[in-house]
């Protein structure tokens, strides 16, 4: 699948005319990408474009060292080390009629976990 670099819409294929050339075109904006020959394409070999997957950097639940010092503590058992105290924060991740998600961070080993 190819997408329009201007608007992000799925590009369509125009079969071409006398010169036997295919082209991708955007049905919404005027973007056109030409350059495929019909004899190179067959029903067995689809058009494939490989792209390298770039992984997103994961941010910690508590951002910054100062946020940890200001977060309240509660009695919660850490699943990793078994320590009995943890910092916590509540965040509304889903719609307003859903319950809040509670994020914990162990005071001893800094392990993060959440409770829905």
Contacting residues for 36 by C-beta, under 8 A, at least 6 apart: 21, 22, 23, 24, 47
The rounded mean pLDDT for the chain is: 77
Domains of the chain: 1-54 (2.20.25), 65-115 (2.20.25.10)
* Full-model pTM: 0.44
Residue list for the binding site: 4, 7, 26, 29, 78, 81, 106, 109
How confident is the model at residue 43, as a pLDDT?
Answer: 47
Residue list for the binding site for Zn(2+): 4, 7, 26, 29, 78, 81, 106, 109
How confident is the model at residue 115, as a pLDDT?
Answer: 83
Over residues 49-65, the mean pLDDT reads 72
Phi-psi region of 18 (alpha: psi -120 to 50; beta: other; left: phi over 0): alpha
Over residues 53-58, the mean pLDDT reads 80
How confident is the model at residue 24, as a pLDDT?
Answer: 81
């Amino acid at each position: 699948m190819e997408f329009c670099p201007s608007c992000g819409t799925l590009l369509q294929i125009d079969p071409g005319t006398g010169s036997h050339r295919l082209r991708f075109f955007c049905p919404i904006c005027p973007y056109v990408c030409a350059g495929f020959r019909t004899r190179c394409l067959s029903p067995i070999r689809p058009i494939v474009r490989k792209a390298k997957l770039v992984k997103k950097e994961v941010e910690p639940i508590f951002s910054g060292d100062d946020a940890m010092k200001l977060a309240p503590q509660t009695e919660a058992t850490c699943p990793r080390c078994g320590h009995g105290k943890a910092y916590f924060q509540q965040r509304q991740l889903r719609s307003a009629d859903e319950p809040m998600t509670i994020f914990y961070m162990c005071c001893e080993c800094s392990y993060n976990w959440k409770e829905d």
